[in-house]
């Protein structure tokens, strides 16, 4: 018959408590970030991301079946934006900073352009991807500077135009869309010297499980 | 001589394109902002925390605010940049604490009080909003310390003279 000595029982208890604590910490570590992180509402030109590296406002969220691959596939299906050129920007998620997964554009000159990154699964939104959409001009005069997001104007800024275009395309294709106030209206200076800003409204687009 | 003339012409065009070196850029002058009457305006002076007033902007399509941009940044092709600080002033009925709801996908809001007014840090905490009766003041900055420095420096932008800095924020048209 196995006899357990007093000190051995104590060790067992300690091991048991340690195991419970380890399990609890594992559960906490995996469940705490189970939401779509809206702390970083801008893309960043480099990592680690900080307010000094902000570039474009995040103004579209693909949700429910919003993995980045589905977002890209369904976006190309509904917009025809097949070009994939553009610089890499970065997205924040639960304290980390990560490069975009993909980007799509309507051409190479003046164009619509959107950068996409799959983000953390969310209890309310399901699989979700954050996106930064805009319309940009190819600026060659008075000095060639490349792509610059349209300044604020009668049709909204280039950021608003990009979001509005995606809203119309996805809504016309039967996707459920809505808007949520994010307030990320900070002015972003462009290479032509103008400033552009989001109007603060972010578009939510519900995606299908099955791609087109 | 011709070369000098050409350089002068290029310099003149550059000034016209980039803007006058003697005042802030943007689509409004500070004087125009002083005569603005739609809602009370607040700004942080000609300079705050070592940053000069770089631009005054008015947006009244889709959004409704007057913006005071402080400091410079360096955009590149395909990637804009965020200036070190900005003060946006919105009419209070267009933007207020209740604009942020608790639905899925909405940003987090940390409520507080600053200079006698309800206020909120939004998202990553680098955006501060102060709510007065007629205006909502939105401050963006690259550090939390700078946000608070700017909040401390806010004053009324007046038609005849800029108001003195008073502890409790409250400007009138």
Give domain status of residue B1, yes or no. Answer: no
Distance from CA of A182 to the nearest CA of B (A): 6
**Residue of B55, B101, B106 with shortest CB distance to A195:** B55
Quote the crossing angle between the two packed helices A68-79 and A158-172, to the nearest 10°: 80
Domains of chain B: total:
1
Which of B18, B99, B141 is facing A183, going by the closest CB pair? B99
How much is the pLDDT for A28? 42
Confidence band (pLDDT; 50, 70, 90) for B101? Answer: confident
Q: What is the pLDDT of residues A121-166, one digit of tens each?
A: 888 899 999 999 999 999 998 889 999 999 999 999 999 999 999 9
Query: Is B62–A199 a contact, with Cβ atoms under 8 angstroms apart?
Result: yes
Beta bridge partners, B110, equal: B121
- The answer to the question of residue B163 being in a domain is no
Judge whether A178 is closer than 8 Å to chain B, CB to CB: no
Smallest Cβ–Cβ distance between B107 and the set A41, A125, A157 belongs to A41
pLDDT band at B160 (very low <50, low <70, confident <90, very high): low
pLDDT one-digit tens code per residue, B127-158: 999 999 999 999 999 999 999 999 999 999 97
More confident residue, A155 or A32: A155
Contact A149, A163 (CB under 8 A): no
The closest alpha carbon to A133, from A109, A157, A152, A151, belongs to A157
Q: Which residue has the higher pLDDT, A173 or B1?
A: A173
Instruction: Please give, rounded to a whole number of angstroms, the shortest distance from the CA of A105 to a CA of chain B.
Output: 12
Give me the mean pLDDT over the B89-113 stretch: 91
pLDDT of res. B167: 76
CB proximity A202 to B under 8 Å: yes
- The shortest CB-CB distance from A189 to any of B59, B73, B100 is to B73
Residue contact A191–B107, C-beta within 8 A:
no
Query: Stretch A72-81: mean pLDDT, rounded?
Result: 98
Give the model confidence (pLDDT) of B1-46 as tens digits. 344 343 344 444 444 444 444 578 888 999 999 999 999 999 999 9
Confirm whether B57 is domain-assigned. Answer: yes
Task: Yes or no: say if B134 and B39 are a contact pair by the CB < 8 Å rule.
Answer: yes
How far apart are alpha carbons B27 and B34 in whole angstroms?
14
Which structural domain, as residue segments, surrounds residue B94? Answer: 23-156
CB A185 within 8 A of CB A197: yes
Q: How confident is the model at residue A32 (pLDDT cuts 50, 70, 90)?
A: very low
SS (H, E, C) chain B: CHHHHHHHHHHHHHHHHHCCCCCCEECCCHHHHHCCCCCCCEECCCEECCEEEEEEEEECCCCCEEEEEECCCCCECCECECCCEEEEEEECCCCCHHHCCCCCCCCCEEEEEECCEEEEEECCCCEEEEECCCEEEEEEECCHHHHHHHHHHCEECCCCCCCCCCCCCCCCC
For the record, the structure tokens of A47 come out as 């990592």
Residue B105 lies in a domain: yes
Check whether A208 has a pLDDT greater than 70: yes
Give φ, ψ of B172 to 5 degrees.
-120, 155
Decide if B77 is inside a domain.
yes
Residue B7 lies in a domain: no
Query: Would you say residue B83 lies in a domain?
Result: yes
pLDDT over threshold 70, residue A71: yes
In this prediction, residue B172 carries a pLDDT of 77
Q: B122 lies in a domain?
A: yes
Kindly report the nearest CA distance between residue B125 and chain A, in angstroms: 8
Residue by residue, DSSP assigns A33-48 as T-S---S--EEESSSS
Test A180 with B105 for CB contact under 8 angstroms.
yes
């Amino acid at each position: 018959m196995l006899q357990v000595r007093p000190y051995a029982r104590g060790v067992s208890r300690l091991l048991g408590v340690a195991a419970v604590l380890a399990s609890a910490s594992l559960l906490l570590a995996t469940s705490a970030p189970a939401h779509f992180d809206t702390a970083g509402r801008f893309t960043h030109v480099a990592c680690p991301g900080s307010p000094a590296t902000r570039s474009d406002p995040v103004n579209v969220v693909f949700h429910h079946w919003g993995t980045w691959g589905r977002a890209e596939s369904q976006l190309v299906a509904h917009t025809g934006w097949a070009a994939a050129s553009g610089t890499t920007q970065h997205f924040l998620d639960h304290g980390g900073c990560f490069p975009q997964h993909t980007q799509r554009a309507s051409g190479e000159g003046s164009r619509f352009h959107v950068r996409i990154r799959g983000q953390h699964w969310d209890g309310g939104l399901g699989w979700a991807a954050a996106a930064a959409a805009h319309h940009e001009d190819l600026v060659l005069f008075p000095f060639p500077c490349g792509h610059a997001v349209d300044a604020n104007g009668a049709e909204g800024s280039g950021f608003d135009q990009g979001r509005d275009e995606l809203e119309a395309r996805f809504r016309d294709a039967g996707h459920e869309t809505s808007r949520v106030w994010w307030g990320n209206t900070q002015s972003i200076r462009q290479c032509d010297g103008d400033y552009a800003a989001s109007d603060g409204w972010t578009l939510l687009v519900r995606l299908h499980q099955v791609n087109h | 001589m011709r070369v000098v003339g050409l350089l002068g012409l290029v310099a003149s065009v550059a000034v016209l394109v980039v803007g006058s070196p003697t005042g802030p850029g943007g689509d409004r002058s500070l004087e125009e902002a002083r005569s603005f009457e739609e809602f009370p305006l607040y700004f942080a002076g000609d300079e705050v925390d070592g940053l000069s007033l770089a631009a005054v902007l008015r947006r009244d399509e889709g959004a409704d605010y007057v913006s005071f941009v402080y400091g410079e940044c360096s955009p590149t092709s395909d990637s804009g940049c965020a200036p070190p600080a900005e003060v946006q002033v919105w009419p209070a009925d267009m933007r207020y604490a209740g604009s942020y709801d608790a639905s899925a996908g909405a940003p987090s809001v940390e409520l507080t009080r600053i200079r006698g007014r309800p206020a909120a840090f939004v998202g990553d905490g680098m955006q501060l909003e102060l709510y007065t009766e007629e205006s909502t003041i939105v401050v963006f900055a690259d550090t939390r310390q700078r946000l608070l420095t700017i909040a401390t420096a806010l004053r009324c932008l007046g038609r005849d003279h800029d108001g003195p800095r008073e502890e409790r924020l409250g400007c009138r048209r």
